[in-house]
Homo-oligomer: A and B are copies of this chain.
Amino acid sequence: MSKSEVKVGILGYGIVGCGTYQVLSGNAEAIAQKLGAKLTVAKVADIDWTRQRDVMPPAEVQVSDAREVIDDPEIDIVIETIGGTRFATNFVLAAIDAGKCVVTSNKEMMAKHGQEILARAAAKNVDVQFEGAVGGVIPIIASLKESLVASRLQEVVGIVNGTTNYILTRMTQEGKQFDEVLKQAQALGYAEADPTADVEGIDAANKIAILTAVAFGLRADVDRVYREGITRVSAEDIRYADKMGYVIKLLAIAKRGEDDEVELRVHPAFLPKAHPLASVNGVFNAIFVRGDACDDVMLYGRGAGSLPTGSAVAGDAISSARNILHGAAGRVPCTCSGSAKIKPIEDVETSVCIRMRVADKPGVMGTIATIFGQEGVSIQSVIQEASISDQVAEIVWVVHKSPEKRLRNALARVEALDIVESIPSIIRVEG
């Protein structure tokens, strides 16, 4: 411990970069006391310093070229908060090549290029830490890599996208439809003008791919994550869920079987109200983990936002600074042992809730139930409410766990029946 100061450079002064700077500068004294050395933000690179942010670093710290940070021999840790893969990946690789420890909050980069980045880091014996990439402030990556590392984990289920959780929460609390709440979320800044990455589950897919690698030690191709968004979830689905004791959440799920085959999926799901994830509302995120020794563990917090994510990024920087001060950079390297063998969605077994509109006449329920039975799909519960019109009734079935392909066969036959008008929704049941 000869060094009395560790220097940090930040690439990208957007929402997370600014939050990180605020935390590191605002709490500098307490951090120095805990670290036993000063942790100084020496340079911040951004291409646009004319735009005003909540807090601006002093002019002498501002630079316009990321290479000024990466090439500075005095800088020990490079924090990447640019986001995306266009520039960030090359900057991060260059920083590693220059022997810097790297901290990033970039989920897309880690999901798509994590393997290359971590391999390069291992070769150069430096840290690459990415707590802020999944669940914002939630200490899930560190917990999976350290505190929970002794357990064999079987299951990771997360609410990892704040925008969709906010939308579903308001739909639940106010009985409103998706389109209306989305518009309000956009007006409030909780959803982007183009909400595709959030509402279609693309963001959550990146995050569950990262969690799979860290929790199971198995790399997963993000393009192979099965994905359904929330755009088709309706107020009626939520109402039926409530009546049956469930809430609807967008879940990112990774499950490892005995054979190490991994289920990887992002979709809306019915979740029992007593499940710890069921009461995670609004923009909050939570990640639920189940393992052989640790049993059920859940971590909850803000999944986004300048200061919460900045707090996670700053925490990683302090961790790397501790490693640097002890000559222990690269202390926790990538622990992947190989690639995940992903179970095809057709073979995944889930329980499912199916809402259908049928002709309101005798014998209909029996006909449909018979088809389910013939296809080996067993019924757990069924609700038929008062008829929607003279001719049409709505039936909601919950079927026991069965392989997806069996269910699809049954539903294809059911949908072809004259007595079935439509199947407005098919939502899996978890928990």
Contacts and interface: CB of A to CB of B under 8 A. Distances in A.
Interface of A: 19, 22-24, 26-27, 30-31, 33-34, 36, 131, 137-139, 142-143, 146-152, 217, 274, 276, 279-281, 284, 291-302, 305, 307-308, 310-312, 314-319, 322-323, 326-328, 330-333, 335, 337
A34 B150 CA distance: 9
B297 A151 contact: no
Nearest to A326: B328
Contacts of A19: 293
A279 B273 CA distance: 10
A314 B316 CA distance: 22
A88 to B, nearest CB: 22
A293 B142 contact: no
Contacts of A314: 150, 293
A300 B301 contact: no
Given A315-B149, A331-B328, A294 B299 contact: no
A323 B331 contact: yes
Contact of A217 (B34, B149, B291): B34
- Ordered nearest first, which 9 A-B pairs have the shortest CB separation? A139-B147, A150-B314, A328-B328, A326-B328, A293-B311, A297-B301, A298-B300, A293-B307, A139-B143
Given A297-B138, A310-B293, A311-B294, A319 B217 contact: no
B298 A151 contact: no
Given A27-B150, A152-B30, A291 B319 contact: no
Residue from A151, A301, A327 having most chain B Cβ neighbours under 10 A: A151
A316 B26 CA distance: 31
B308 A149 contact: no
Contact of A327 (B23, B147, B328): B328
B149 A34 contact: yes
B302 A137 contact: no
Contact of A299 (B23, B26, B300): B300
Contact of A149 (B26, B31, B292): B31
A292 B22 CA distance: 11
A315 B139 contact: no
Nearest to A22: B293
A312 B27 contact: no
Nearest to A299: B299
Nearest to A322: B331
A275 B318 CA distance: 31
B326 A152 contact: no
Contacts of A328: 323, 326-328, 331
